[in-house]
Structure 1
Amino acid sequence: MHNKATSPVSITGSTLKLIAVITMLIDHMGAALVGPLRHKLPDGSALGDFCIMIYPHMRNIGRLAFPIFCFLLVEGFLHTRNVRKYASRMFVFALISELPFDYAFSNQLLRNAHQNVYFTLLIGLLVMIGMSYFEFRTPRTKVGNYLNLLTQIFIAAVGLWMADFLHTDYNYKGVFLIIVLYSLRLDRRLQAIFGAITISWEMYAPFAFIPVWFYNGQRGRQMKYFFYWFYPVHLLILGFLRHVVIPHFLI
């Protein structure tokens, strides 16, 4: 059972998802729209100067999204009724999202250099499935205990390698964060503290664990497929704005 910080502030899972979605949207608007505009607008123009000023702030706000999504992935794994359906759904949306991801953030419809974040989350989920299987096996000998532990470490290492090999968003560092949050799942305080330390290579990302600290363990309002579809749909819209609408107005 999770230890929770005692506080009048109480945040549900759906509220955490909304925080992650909003901060992600701000980040992606910065990366897909404001960033490219900085280089296309004339030097010294009011809009160009505004884009230069606001761009880093939008990207910094966006650093909060991924750690929250990782925490929610762990919670989802722990409470799902059917982990196979959970993993299958993640895989389907990883495939659906790849073209919109490439379209929004590059000049190509398909590129192998960088895969969308659903692949990172999927690898993290598969690692948790594998680790949990051997974690709860009951060996007959002490040697069996050590073998189970070594197997869990091996599964984690394979997950880290896969994320790095496939060049997924946040690569092996993202999967490592998921492993840390899963390993400390019995203590919310330790999750928040060591999660923040693990993601501290991103300057503003540790602040994501402030709302995580106040998570009350309740699911809140359910809008499951809204959150799944939001990722590819908003990327398609951003890609359309970047490649069709903005160039039209800059002609």
Structure 2
Amino acid sequence: MPICPIRRKNNIPKERVRMTVNKEMALQSGTNRWEILDATTLKLVAVALMFLNHIHQMFVHVGAPVWLTMLGRPVFPIFLFVSAESFYHTHNKKKYLQRLLLASWGMTLFTVALQGVLPNADVVLMNNAFGTFFIAVFYMMLWDILVDGIHKKKPARIAKAVLCGFLPVLGTIPLFFVAGLSANQNIPFPVIKALITAAMLVPNILTIEGGVAMAALGVGFYIFRKHRIVQIILLLILSAVVYLTGDHIQWMMCFAAVPLALYNGERGKGMKNFFYLFYPLHIGVLYIVSTLCFG
């Protein structure tokens, strides 16, 4: 709706008229002046902090300071928040989910191969945020199916959402199967290692980085995506629970509330391929440097 022009009387300063118009425009647009970060900028902030965090991971054995990983605690919530936004706005939700699954498989195979070629007793690569994003987005999709089934009163869709929700739980079965086989000394270790790798390729709730709580936080971000305050409250609650469990570093993910509060709802430049490539590449480079120079 166009803004009606404001007639200025002779005794009203021009600046006051201009401020009144700007205020009405801000109210009609629904944005606040402090909401200055788009989705791309949020991801760039997370990338910078993630890089510092992984420097600590790769070089902690040679004295990398703990404040590097402290700065990296907000990274996961920021990426989960952006994943929820991206999934909501994507034109092809199934393709988005498939892309995350392929990235998760690629990351698992990449880290296994890298550690096989360059073993490093001081660094264990268990990095696969793509797996966490996949599980979170998978449940976001099931949430949409569930809500659609309830609204349209379709029991079949409701049942589909509920039953499919058990798939990441059933995905843990291969892990337990391989764990049982590992006790058999007649099976060569290379075979066990290959079976473990294959089992890790099956999406499940046990092997995702950050654990089930992080995936649940991502789903919460999606469910309450129109209620920023609720999203931030969920983050603060999880941070408080983590702190009460005795983890005195991970709770610092609560500081992700600051960039989330500054989000303006815009996509930005995107740079999708950059983020998919930067994650494995920077981990690989840091691991290689750590192994060759300090291993």
Q: TM-score, normalised by structure 2?
A: 0.66
Q: For residue 23 of structure 1, report the CA deviation from its aligned partner.
A: 0.7
2:213 corresponds in structure 1 to 173
- The answer to whether the Cα contact below 8 Å between 1:97 and 1:232 also exists between their aligned partners in 2 is yes
The yes-or-no answer on 1:205 pairing with 2:215 is no
Give the distance between the partners of 1:82 and 1:155, measured in 2 at CA.
19
Q: Report the equivalent of 2:120.
A: 107
Aligned pairs for 1:215-234 (under 5 A) are 215-234=263-282
1-side partners of 2:258 and 2:166: how far apart?
29
Structure 2 residue identity aligned to 1:19: V
Change (3 A) 1:114 1:183: same
Matched, 1:28 2:51: no
1:191 to 218, 231, 238: 231
Contact 2:90/2:96 (CA < 8 Å) preserved in 1?
Answer: yes
Q: Answer yes or no: is the 8 Å Cα contact 2:42–2:78 preserved in 1.
A: yes
1:92 aligns with 2:102: yes
- What is aligned with 1:41? none
Structure with larger Rg: 2
1:95: Cα distance to partner? Answer: 1.8
For 2:9, the equivalent position in structure 1 comes to none
Residues 126-164 of structure 1, C-alpha deviation per residue, up to 9 Å, x if partnerless?
1111121121123448xx59x93x875665565577576
- Higher RCO structure, 1 or 2 (CA under 8 Å, sep 6+): 1
Distance 1:67 1:165, change over 3 A: closer
Q: Is the 8 A contact 1:4 1:187 kept in 2?
A: no
Q: Call closer, same or farther: CA 1:21–1:4 in 2, change over 3 Å.
A: farther
Alignment CA distance shift 1:206-1:160 (3 Å): farther
Deviation at 1:97, TM superposition (A): 1.6
The one-letter amino acid paired with 2:98 is S
Determine helix, strand or coil for the equivalent of 1:204.
Answer: helix
Instruction: Point out the more displaced range, 61-70 or 195-204.
Output: 195-204
Change (3 A) 1:129 1:101: same
Q: Match of 2:251, SS? A: coil
Q: Which moved more, 1:93-102 or 1:197-206?
A: 93-102
> Counterpart of 1:127 in structure 2: which amino acid?
Y
**Residue 79 of structure 1 aligns with which residue?**
89
Q: Distance in 2 between matches of 1:160 and 1:170?
A: 16
What's 1:45 paired with? none
- Structure 2, unmatched stretches of 5+, are 1-28, 172-202, 243-249
CA distance in 1, matches of 2:74, 2:42: 11
In structure 2, relative to structure 1, the CA distance for the partners of 1:172 and 1:154 (3 Å cut) is farther
1:125 aligns with 2:137: yes
- For 1:37, the equivalent position in structure 2 comes to 62
Contact preservation (8 Å) 2:217, 2:234: no
Deviations 1:166-214 (A, max 9, x none): 4211111111111211221121121122223224413200111211111
Structure 1, gaps ≥5 residues long = 39-50
